[in-house]
């Protein structure tokens, strides 16, 4: 799953990053979002702007730790947790690739219905993956306590 998420993220970014930063590439789609190319040298909400290499190293280390956790817990981990970790790892590595290859993260999804930072497919993987992992973990722990 992580490899597929990385491939999807990188393919879309490769296709869109031929345009200049700031380019608006589409009208709003169904009133939800538009494609608006942005280059981010920081983290979420552009925090730590300019720390691209350090954030890339941090992402790789965190993804390695999550992969090690998944291997260590393989006998107990639930499918939602495993899918969540796959999305988080895929998203983290996708953005790390940007940081190391082009020196910034390629963002392009700009929500039309609210003021929110521009983001990308990797960010969706990290956010939704973390939510799915946490939900799976809580459900597994509650089930485990009910069995006791």
Do the beta carbons of residue 128 and residue 75 sit within 8 Å? no
Among the options 9, 98, 110, 123, which is catalytic? 123
Query: CA 53 to CA 142: how far, in whole Å?
Result: 40
**Is 107 annotated in the active site?**
yes
**Is residue 98 annotated as a catalytic residue, yes or no?**
no
- Six-digit token string for 66: 């999550």
**Residue 80 near residue 132 (C-beta atoms within 8 A):** yes
Residues 9, 98, 107, 110: which is the catalytic one?
107
Q: Tell me the catalytic residues.
A: 107, 123
């Amino acid at each position: 799953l992580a490899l597929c998420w990385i491939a999807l993220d990188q393919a879309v970014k490769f296709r869109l990053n031929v345009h200049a930063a700031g380019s608006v590439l589409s009208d709003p789609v169904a009133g939800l979002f538009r494609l608006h190319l942005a280059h981010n040298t920081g983290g979420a909400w552009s925090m730590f702007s300019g720390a691209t290499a350090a954030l890339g190293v941090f992402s790789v280390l965190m993804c390695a730790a999550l992969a090690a956790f998944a291997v260590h817990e393989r006998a107990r981990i639930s499918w939602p947790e495993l899918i969540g970790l796959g999305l988080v790892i895929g998203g983290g590595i996708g953005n790390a690739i940007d940081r190391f290859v082009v020196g910034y993260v390629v963002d392009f999804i700009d929500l039309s219905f609210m003021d929110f930072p521009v983001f990308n497919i990797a960010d969706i993987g990290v956010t939704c993956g973390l939510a799915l992992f946490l939900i799976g973990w809580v459900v597994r722990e509650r089930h485990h306590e009910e069995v006791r």
